[in-house]
Structure 1
Amino acid sequence: MTAPALTDPSAGTRPPRPYQHYVYAYPHKTAYRPLEPAPRLADLWTGEGRQALSLYAHIPFCEVRCGFCNLFTRIGAPGDLTRRYLDALERQAVAVREALGDGEPVRFANAAFGGGTPTFLEAGELARLCDIAERHMGADLRAIPLSVEASPATATADRLAVLAERGTTRLSLGVQSFVEAEARAAVRPQRRADVEAALARVREAGIPVLNIDLIYGIDGQTAASWRLSLDAALAWRPEEIYLYPLYVRPLTGLGRRRAGAAPEAADREWDEQRLRRYREGRDHLLAHGYEQVSMRMFRRADAPPQGPDDYACQTDGMIGLGCGARSYTSTLHYSFDYAVGMSEVRSLIDAYTVTEDFSRAVHGRAVDGDEARRRHLLQSLLQAEGLPVADYRRRFGSGPYDDFPAELATLAGRGWLAEPDDRDSGRLRLTAEGLAHSDAIGPDFFSPAVRAAMAAYEAK
Structure 2
Amino acid sequence: MSDTPRPYRSYVYAYPHKTAYRALPERPGLAALWADEPKDALSLYAHIPFCEVRCGFCNLFTRIGAPDELTTRYLDALDRQAVAVREALGDASPVRFATAAFGGGTPTFLTAAELERLCDIAEKRMGADLRAVPLSVETSPATATADRLAVLADRGATRLSIGVQSFVEAEARAAVRPQRRADVEAALGRIRDAGVPVLNIDLIYGIDGQTERSWRFSLDAALAWRPEELYLYPLYVRPLTGLGRIQDPAAADREWDEQRLRLYRYGRDHLLAHGYEQVSMRMFRRADAGPAGPDDYACQTDGMIGLGCGARSYTSDLHYSFDYAVDMREIRSIIDAYTETEDFSRAEVGRAVDGDEARRRHLLQSLLQAEGMPVAGYEERFGSSPFADFGPELARFEEYGWIADAPAGLLRLSPEGLAHSDGLGPELFSPAVRAAMAAYEAK
Alignment TM class, shorter chain as reference? over 0.9
How many angstroms does 1:16 deviate by? 1.0
AA at the equivalent of 2:167: F
Q: 1:166 aligns with which of 155, 161, 171?
A: 155
AA at the equivalent of 2:305: I
- Find out whether 1:215 has 2:187 as its counterpart: no
Q: 2:126 aligns with which of 125, 137, 145?
A: 137
Aligned to 1:370, what secondary structure does the other structure show? helix
- Find out whether 1:438 has 2:421 as its counterpart: yes
AA at the equivalent of 2:423: A
CA distance in 2, matches of 1:33, 1:357: 20
CA distance in 2, matches of 1:95, 1:55: 15
Encode CA deviations 1:109-131: one digit per residue, 9 max, x unaligned: 00000000000000000000000
The residue number in structure 1 matching 2:339 is: 353
How many angstroms does 1:13 deviate by? 5.7
AA at the equivalent of 1:441: L
The residue number in structure 1 matching 2:325 is: 339
Decide whether the 8 Å contact of 2:246 with 2:252 is kept in 1.
no
CA distance in 2, matches of 1:260, 1:237: 39
Decide whether the 8 Å contact of 1:380 with 1:387 is kept in 2.
yes
AA at the equivalent of 1:337: D
CA distance in 2, matches of 1:240, 1:156: 21
CA distance in 2, matches of 1:227, 1:418: 28
Aligned to 1:430, what secondary structure does the other structure show? coil
The residue number in structure 2 matching 1:53 is: 42
- Find out whether 1:100 has 2:86 as its counterpart: no
Encode CA deviations 1:369-406: one digit per residue, 9 max, x unaligned: 00000000000000000000000000000111010000
Aligned to 1:153, what secondary structure does the other structure show? coil
How many angstroms does 1:248 deviate by? 1.4
Q: How does 1:224-263 map to 2 (within 5 A)?
A: 224-248=213-237, 263=249
The count of aligned residue pairs is 442
How many angstroms does 1:421 deviate by? 6.0
The residue number in structure 2 matching 1:449 is: 432
Encode CA deviations 1:169-201: one digit per residue, 9 max, x unaligned: 000000000000000000000000000000000
- Find out whether 1:29 has 2:15 as its counterpart: no
Q: 1:373 aligns with which of 359, 373, 376?
A: 359
How many angstroms does 1:259 deviate by? 12
Q: 2:272 aligns with which of 282, 286, 289?
A: 286
Q: How does 1:405-416 map to 2 (within 5 A)?
A: 405-416=391-402
How many angstroms does 1:262 deviate by? 5.9
* Distance verdict in 2 for CA 1:254–1:174, change over 3 Å: farther
CA distance in 2, matches of 1:261, 1:61: 37
How many angstroms does 1:304 deviate by? 1.4
CA distance in 2, matches of 1:213, 1:16: 26
How many angstroms does 1:79 deviate by? 1.4
Aligned to 1:36, what secondary structure does the other structure show? coil
The residue number in structure 1 matching 2:106 is: 117
AA at the equivalent of 2:158: T
Q: 1:65 aligns with which of 22, 35, 54?
A: 54
CA distance in 1, matches of 2:175, 2:117: 33
Q: 1:404 aligns with which of 390, 393, 409?
A: 390
The residue number in structure 2 matching 1:205 is: 194
AA at the equivalent of 1:171: L
CA distance in 2, matches of 1:431, 1:122: 44
Q: How does 1:242-321 map to 2 (within 5 A)?
A: 242-248=231-237, 263-321=249-307
Encode CA deviations 1:51-74: one digit per residue, 9 max, x unaligned: 100000000000000000000000
Unaligned runs of 5+ in 2: none
Decide whether the 8 Å contact of 1:186 with 1:254 is kept in 2.
no
AA at the equivalent of 1:57: A
CA distance in 1, matches of 2:119, 2:240: 34
AA at the equivalent of 1:323: C
AA at the equivalent of 1:429: R
The residue number in structure 2 matching 1:184 is: 173
Decide whether the 8 Å contact of 1:339 with 1:459 is kept in 2.
yes
* TM-score using structure 1 length: 0.94
CA distance in 1, matches of 2:240, 2:26: 38
* Distance verdict in 2 for CA 1:147–1:286, change over 3 Å: same
How many angstroms does 1:24 deviate by? 0.5
Aligned to 2:364, what secondary structure does the other structure show? helix
How many angstroms does 1:254 deviate by? 6.4
AA at the equivalent of 1:399: S
Aligned to 1:105, what secondary structure does the other structure show? coil
Decide whether the 8 Å contact of 1:67 with 1:254 is kept in 2.
no
The residue number in structure 1 matching 2:442 is: 459
Decide whether the 8 Å contact of 1:59 with 1:115 is kept in 2.
yes
AA at the equivalent of 2:229: E
CA distance in 2, matches of 1:329, 1:244: 29
* Distance verdict in 2 for CA 1:254–1:330, change over 3 Å: farther
CA distance in 1, matches of 2:42, 2:245: 41
The residue number in structure 1 matching 2:348 is: 362
CA distance in 1, matches of 2:251, 2:245: 17
* Distance verdict in 2 for CA 1:261–1:136, change over 3 Å: farther
* Distance verdict in 2 for CA 1:260–1:453, change over 3 Å: farther
CA distance in 1, matches of 2:246, 2:321: 31
Q: 1:40 aligns with which of 9, 29, 50?
A: 29
Decide whether the 8 Å contact of 2:244 with 2:252 is kept in 1.
no
* Distance verdict in 2 for CA 1:139–1:338, change over 3 Å: same
AA at the equivalent of 1:445: L
Aligned to 1:418, what secondary structure does the other structure show? coil
Aligned to 2:412, what secondary structure does the other structure show? strand
How many angstroms does 1:313 deviate by? 0.2
CA distance in 1, matches of 2:308, 2:247: 35
Runs of 4+ in 1 over 3 A off after TM superposition: 257-262, 419-422
CA distance in 1, matches of 2:292, 2:158: 6
* Distance verdict in 2 for CA 1:20–1:261, change over 3 Å: farther
Decide whether the 8 Å contact of 1:68 with 1:254 is kept in 2.
no
Decide whether the 8 Å contact of 1:52 with 1:316 is kept in 2.
yes
* Distance verdict in 2 for CA 1:222–1:197, change over 3 Å: same
Q: 2:67 aligns with which of 63, 78, 88?
A: 78
Decide whether the 8 Å contact of 1:325 with 1:335 is kept in 2.
yes
* Distance verdict in 2 for CA 1:449–1:144, change over 3 Å: same
- Find out whether 1:429 has 2:407 as its counterpart: no
